[in-house]
C-alpha cells in the first residue's frame, strides 16, 4: 500500500473509489459498544490544536439536552444495540448545565459512563461537584472521568492550553482522587516523545500525585496521534486490510457512533465517529436506525488516526 504522489486534495473525493481507482475500504457497524454524545462545542479554554475548534465562543454544536439523550438511550434498546458505554465529550462537557442529569440518565439505564473533561473550573463548580459525588456514590465503579493532560510536564501542557492550565487541571484531579473517582488520562503525541518515554513520564506523574491510573494501559492512559490534515496519508483500499493484517472490526466506526446537535437544527444528528463533527459526508441521519449503514473511509483522519494509528476514543 504505497502513498500517492501529490497532496491529500487529490484524494478522498469519492466515497466508493480512491484517486487511483481502487475500491475504497468501508466499515460496517458490527458491534456497537459506545454511543458518544457531544455536549456542545463551548469550552472554558481555547487550545492551540483542538481538532473540534472548541472555545468560549464556538457554539457550532449547541448544548444537547437530557431529554434528547434519553431518547437515544431508548433507541439503543429498540435497536437492540449491545452498547455498554455512554460517553460524553465536548467542548467541555461540564459547561452544559444538564451534564449531571444526562450522566444520571445513562447510569440509571444501566450503562457505564465516560466523561472527557479538562477538570478545570466548570467541573469544580459546587453544583457539578455535588452531582458527581452523588452519582459516584449511587453507581460505584460505573463512572470514569478521562482528564485531558496533553503532557505530564506543566510547561508543555500549558503551551497547548494556556498559562496556568496545568495547575488548574491538577487541582481538579486531586479533588477527584480524594473523593474516590475513577480517572483516566488523555495525552497527545504532538511533542514527538516515543510511546515508551511518554508512558514512563506519565507513570512518574501519576506516582508523584498518588493517582490510581495505569500509565501502561492504553485504555487508561490514551495517547492520541495528531490529526494534521496537511500531512500526506495513504488512502485505505479494500486490499489494505490484508496488507496491514488488520480487521475493519478494529476501527472505531465499527463499534461507536456520536450524537451532536448543530446550531439551528431541529433535531440532533448521528455521526460516524467523534473525529469528524463538521463534515456532512459523515452525518448518517437523525436516528440510530439510519446510522447503522456502512461508513466509507473517505477522510485523512480515517487513515492516519484510526487505521494506521490504531487509535480509539473508547476505553
**125-153 residue pLDDT tens:** 999 999 999 999 999 999 999 999 999 99
Per-residue pLDDT at 314 exceeds 80:
no
Exposed e or buried b for every residue in 255-282, given b needs 16+ CB within 10 A? Answer: bbbbbbbbeeeeebbbbbbbbbbeeeeb
pLDDT band at 229 (very low <50, low <70, confident <90, very high): low
3-class secondary-structure state, position 113: strand
Highest mean pLDDT among 83-87, 243-247, 309-313: 83-87
pLDDT over 50 at 196, yes or no: yes
DSSP string, 208-262: HTT----TT-TTTEEEEPP--TTS--PPPBTTHHHHHT--GGGSGGGTEEEEE-B
- Could you give the angle at the alpha carbon of 30 between the alpha carbons of 24 and 33, nearest 5°? 120
CA distance 1 to 244: 9
Which are the contacts of 3, defined by CB distance < 8 A and separation ≥ 6? Answer: 232, 233, 234
The CA distance from 117 to 305, in Å, is: 21
Position 193 scores a pLDDT of 81
**pLDDT at site 300:** 87
Residue 290 near residue 78, CB atoms below 8 Å: no
CATH topology of domain 8-308: TIM Barrel (3.20.20)
Amino acid 176: pLDDT:
98
Mean of pLDDT values over 43-48: 93
* Amino acid 2: pLDDT: 33
CA distance 183 to 175: 11
pLDDT at 210 over 70: yes
pLDDT for residue 285? 97
The pLDDT, as a whole number, for residue 310 is 56
Peptide bond into 140 cis (omega under 30): no
Domain ranges of the chain: 8-308
Amino acid at each position: 500500500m504505497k502513498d500517492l504522489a501529490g497532496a491529500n486534495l487529490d484524494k478522498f473525493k469519492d466515497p466508493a473509489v480512491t484517486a487511483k481507482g481502487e475500491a475504497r475500504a468501508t466499515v460496517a457497524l458490527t458491534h456497537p459498544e459506545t454511543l458518544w454524545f457531544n455536549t456542545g462545542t463551548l469550552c472554558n479554554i481555547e487550545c492551540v490544536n483542538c481538532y473540534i475548534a472548541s472555545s468560549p465562543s464556538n457554539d457550532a454544536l449547541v448544548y444537547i439536552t437530557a431529554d434528547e439523550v434519553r431518547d437515544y438511550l431508548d433507541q439503543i434498546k429498540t435497536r437492540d444495540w449491545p452498547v455498554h458505554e455512554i460517553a460524553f465529550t465536548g467542548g467541555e462537557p461540564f459547561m452544559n448545565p444538564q451534564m449531571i442529569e444526562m450522566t444520571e440518565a445513562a447510569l440509571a439505564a444501566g450503562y457505564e459512563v465516560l466523561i472527557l473533561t479538562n477538570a478545570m473550573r466548570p467541573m469544580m463548580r459546587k453544583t457539578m461537584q455535588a452531582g458527581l459525588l452523588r452519582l459516584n456514590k449511587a453507581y460505584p465503579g460505573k463512572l470514569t472521568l478521562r482528564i485531558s493532560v496533553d503532557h505530564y510536564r506543566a510547561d508543555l501542557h500549558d503551551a497547548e492550553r494556556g498559562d496556568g492550565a496545568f495547575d488548574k487541571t491538577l487541582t481538579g484531579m486531586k479533588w477527584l482522587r480524594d473523593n474516590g473517582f475513577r480517572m483516566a488520562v488523555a495525552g497527545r503525541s504532538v511533542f514527538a516523545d516515543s510511546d515508551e518515554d511518554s508512558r514512563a513520564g506519565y507513570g512518574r506523574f501519576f506516582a508523584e500525585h498518588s493517582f490510581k491510573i495505569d500509565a501502561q494501559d492504553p485504555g487508561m492512559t490514551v495517547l492520541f496521534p495528531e490529526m494534521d490534515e496537511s500531512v500526506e496519508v495513504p488512502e485505505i483500499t479494500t486490499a489494505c486490510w490484508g496488507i496491514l493484517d488488520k480487521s475493519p472490526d478494529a476501527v472505531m466506526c465499527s463499534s461507536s457512533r456520536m450524537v451532536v446537535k448543530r446550531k439551528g437544527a431541529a433535531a440532533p444528528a448521528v455521526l460516524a465517529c467523534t473525529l469528524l463533527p463538521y463534515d456532512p459526508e459523515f452525518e448518517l441521519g437523525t436516528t440510530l436506525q439510519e446510522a447503522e449503514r456502512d461508513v466509507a473511509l473517505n477522510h485523512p483522519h480515517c487513515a492516519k488516526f484510526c487505521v494506521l494509528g490504531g487509535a480509539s476514543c473508547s476505553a
